[in-house]
Amino acid sequence: MAIASKVQEYLSRRGMQYDVLTHPHSHTSLETAHLAHVPGHALAKSVVLEDDFGYLMAVLPADQHVQLGKLSKELSCRLRLATEGELKRMFDDCEPGAIPSLGAAYGLRMIVDDSLADEAEIYFEAGDHEQLIQMSGSDFMALMEGAGRADFSEPRWHH
């Protein structure tokens, strides 16, 4: 599979410079980071949530997880995770589980974890399980303009 069509269109419309990294098929964002030899804190993953107004994409480092309670308080609303079926409908040009961190390309509101703002390079899913998009952190943050910013992630503990 190639880069998701909506992602490609969005990036070219915005005139963004980016590279595509190919990696062995992966199942989780942390496995992707490992197989693509990129740091987990520089791989932006997305978690799609729903509140009373619709869907919201939370963008955070792959080595972190969303603190739903903290984010709900921050946004003063109740949040729940979108279901697999909902994700399939919204991201119909992507493989399941390989959702690009570009909610705007899909008409979604976004909120970005503060920790991504300081990364020199950012990587994110291209829409399949074998490719990542790589761009400068400043370009990535420019794509996040209009998105909310908050501190809502915490380290994922390994057992």
Nearest to 122 by CA among 46, 13, 71: 46
Average pLDDT per 10 consecutive residues for the chain, totaling 159 residues = 90 96 91 94 96 95 94 94 95 94 96 95 96 97 94 78
Note the CATH architecture for domain 5-155. Alpha-Beta Complex (3.90)
Do the bridges between strand 121-125 and strand 148-150 make them parallel or antiparallel, or are there none, so unpaired?
unpaired
The count of residues in the chain is 159
Helix H segments across the chain? 5-13, 29-36, 68-75, 84-90, 137-143
Q: Where are the domains of the chain?
A: 5-155
Of 151, 109, 113, 134, nearest to 22 (Cα)?
134
